[in-house]
């Protein structure tokens, strides 16, 4: 039990639609990161938020966007969904001071 | 650029055997952190260990042990007396920077199957 919860756990969307994934961080963790994990691959870094500001971004197009709220919960939004967006989306939280990074169970997104 | 290589795609061993998972990393930073995570079929990444670049001491936690060698840029993970519950995909990851919670670069993972 990591204290990081994600919703929804599974969802199916149609190509071209938009999706919002949510993450509730472990209490006191002010840093949240999102990762995309395609089938059979390692997780790929999408972006990180620290105290509500974007603090680094991976090689993902602008249609991937995010938010972090004052309570440090977070959202990942993906617009204009493509078939290749089908993946497990993982949220990770940590307290920025060299502590451990904890992951949630992820949201399985299928785009048809 | 940072990179993590896990050359072993799949490993199968019989229960109670020892098994070592290899991890080789590349980084230009002198300060960095290395991680191992376990991913069962449910998908959650379970934290196993975090080690900074200045601490080369090997670590043992129960049946798990880690061998960090900066000279060969390796951070290998050994499970002693393996059990069926150890079956999972294991990921090695690298984070550059002083805090160790910045972007994680993952390897492609090693799928470990323990045969009863």
Q: Is the pLDDT of residue B20 over 90?
A: yes
Place A45 in a pLDDT band, splitting at 50, 70 and 90.
Answer: very high
Q: Which of A56, A99, A105 sits opposite B102 (nearest CB)?
A: A56
pLDDT of residue B13: 97
Tokens of A40: 């059979």
B91, B103, B108: best to mutate for the A interface, most A CBs within 10 A: B103
- The answer to whether the beta carbons of residues B46 and B38 sit under 8 Å apart is yes
Give the closest of B37, B44, B101 to A96, CB-based.
B101
- Please tell me if residue B3 touches chain A, with a CB cutoff of 8 Å: no
Q: How many helices (H) and strands (E) does chain B have?
A: 0, 12
| pLDDT value for B41 | 86
Q: Which residues contact A32 (CB under 8 A, 6 or more apart)?
A: A23, A25, A48, A49, A68, A72, A74, A91, A92, A93
Closest of B69, B72, B25, B65 to residue B49, by C-alpha? B65
The residue of chain A nearest to residue B48, with distances taken between CA atoms, is: A100
Q: What is the pLDDT of residue B56?
A: 82
Residue A98 has pLDDT above 60, yes or no: no
Please give the pLDDT value at position A100.
80
Model confidence pLDDT, tens digit, residues B74-104: 999 999 999 999 999 999 999 987 666 678 9
CA distances from A43 to A36, A111, B116 (A): 5, 18, 29
Q: What is the reported pLDDT for B87? A: 97
| Rounded mean pLDDT, A66-77 | 92
Do residues B94 and B104 lie in contact, with contact meaning Cβ atoms separated by under 8 Å? yes
Among A1, A32, A42, the strongest candidate for a mutation testing the B interface, having the largest count of B CBs within 10 A, is A42
Q: Chain A contact for B36, CB < 8 A?
A: no
- Our CA-based measurement puts residue B55 at a distance from the nearest CA of chain A, in whole angstroms, of 14
Question: What does the pLDDT look like over A28-43, one tens digit per residue?
Answer: 788 899 999 999 999 9
Task: Note the pLDDT of residue A29.
Answer: 82
Q: Kindly identify which residue of chain B lies nearest to residue A1, measuring between CA atoms.
A: B46
Q: Is the pLDDT of residue A97 over 60?
A: no
Chain A: residue whose CA lies nearest to B104 = A45
Determine the pLDDT at residue B100: 61
The reported pLDDT for the residue numbered A51 is 85
B93 contacts on A by Cβ (under 8 Å): 42
pLDDT for residue A67 is more than 60: yes
B25-65 residue pLDDT tens: 999 998 899 999 999 988 889 999 988 898 888 888 899 99
Q: What is the pLDDT of residue A50?
A: 87
């Amino acid at each position: 039990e990591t204290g990081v919860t994600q919703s929804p756990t599974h969802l199916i969307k149609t190509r071209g639609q938009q999706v919002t994934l949510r993450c509730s961080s472990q209490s006191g963790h002010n840093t949240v990161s999102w990762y995309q994990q395609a089938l059979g691959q390692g997780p790929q870094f999408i972006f990180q938020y620290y105290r509500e500001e974007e603090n680094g971004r991976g090689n993902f197009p602008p249609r991937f966007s995010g938010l972090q709220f004052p309570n440090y919960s977070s959202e990942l939004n993906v617009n204009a969904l493509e078939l290749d967006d089908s993946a497990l989306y993982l949220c990770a939280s940590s307290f920025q001071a060299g502590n451990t990074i904890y992951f949630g169970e992820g949201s399985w997104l299928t785009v048809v | 650029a940072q990179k993590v290589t896990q050359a072993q795609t799949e490993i199968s061993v019989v229960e109670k055997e020892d098994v070592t998972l290899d991890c080789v990393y590349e980084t230009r930073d002198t300060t960095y952190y290395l991680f191992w995570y376990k991913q069962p079929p449910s998908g959650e990444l379970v934290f196993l260990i975090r080690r900074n670049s200045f601490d080369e001491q090997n670590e043992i936690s129960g049946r798990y042990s880690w061998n960090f060698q900066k000279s060969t840029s390796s951070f290998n993970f050994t499970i002693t007396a393996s059990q069926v519950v150890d079956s999972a995909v294991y990921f090695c990851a690298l984070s550059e920077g002083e805090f160790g919670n910045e972007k994680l670069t993952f390897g492609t993972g090693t799928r470990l199957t323990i045969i009863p």
